[in-house]
Amino acid sequence: MVGIIIAIAIFALLACAGIIVLLLYNFGLLSFYHPMKRAKDNQIKVACVGDSITYGCMIANWRKNNYPTVLGDLLGENYCVNNFGYTNRTAIKNADYPLVNEKVYKQSLDFDPDVVVLLLGANDSKENNWDKSAFVADYGEIIRSYLSLKSSPKVYAVVPTPVFESGEKVLYKLRKDVIEDEVCPCVRFVATTIGVECVETLRICFVDKKELFADGVHPNAKGSRLFAEKIAEVIKNSYVISTEVEKSHC
């Protein structure tokens, strides 16, 4: 009898653990897990690089609805899109969680992409992280690391999306004023200085649209789709594909 009770208890614990893992996976909270696609011959390789927004944190049915996955569906079979996002990561190398220290960053370089969509900066805004000169230098270094690849990729520097605060609460210690007044201008400055395209579309589309965010920071499934649509439009309009793209509206 005791043995049966122990067995039932173990089964219950394993079941609970499985449910927790499933929920974390479904909402994109298992940041160490990055399913990668292997590019087929002649496919255009797109690397989506960034933090939790790129990874897909807080999105229900994460595997299907994170923006790189949706982007791959929108771009079609001529493209191979991989998600190199990692929650909490920063551009600043001396911050708490630098992207460049992670395996996923090295994987993004090894992918030898033709297109890089780079979205970083929100986590750099935290009080313990922010250093304007360091951000300019380190963000620029990341961009140059991709430009130096044999594939000579087209790099898109995405201006961070809006942060919606709830009352006096500062979400995830992100500082909205620093993002808007310092991080965004720095992204624009670095992109212009190096000579890569700066993507403003997403920030503009998300202004005053808190309903597209799961928690005021991370786009929900609907917001993620809009994100992917805008990136697809940018890539198709300015990369090697000449097919006319139907313009979508915010």
- Between 161 and 249, the more confident residue is 161
Would you put residue 204 in left (φ > 0), alpha (ψ -120 to 50) or beta?
alpha
Q: Residue 26: CB partners within 8 Å, gap ≥ 6?
A: 60, 61, 62, 63
Residue 68's nearest CA partner among 119, 14, 18, 22 is 119
Q: What percent of the chain has pLDDT over 90?
A: 65
Phi, psi of 70 (to 5 degrees): -65, -40
User: Taking the C-alpha atoms of 227, 207, 58 and 183 in order, what is their torsion angle to the nearest 10 degrees?
Assistant: 90
Residue 228's nearest CA partner among 195, 244, 205, 198 is 205
What tens digit of pLDDT does each residue of 73-94 get?
Answer: 999 999 999 999 999 999 999 9
Helix axes 67-75, 221-238, angle to 10 degrees: 40
What tens digit of pLDDT does each residue of 235-247 get?
Answer: 988 755 433 333 3
- Burial per residue of 87-116, b for 16 or more beta-carbon CB atoms within 10 angstroms, e otherwise: bbbbbbeebebbbbebebbeebbebebbbb
* Residue 120 · residue 142 · CB < 8 Å: yes
Q: Is residue 143 scored above 70 in pLDDT?
A: yes
Distances (CA, A) of 134 to 62, 91, 125, 130, 218: 33, 9, 12, 8, 25
Helices (H) and strands (E) in the chain, counts: 10, 5
* Residue 47 · residue 82 · CB < 8 Å: yes
Q: Is residue 31 scored above 70 in pLDDT?
A: no
Fold of 31-238: Rossmann fold (3.40.50)
Would you put residue 58 in left (φ > 0), alpha (ψ -120 to 50) or beta?
left
State residue 1's pLDDT score: 62
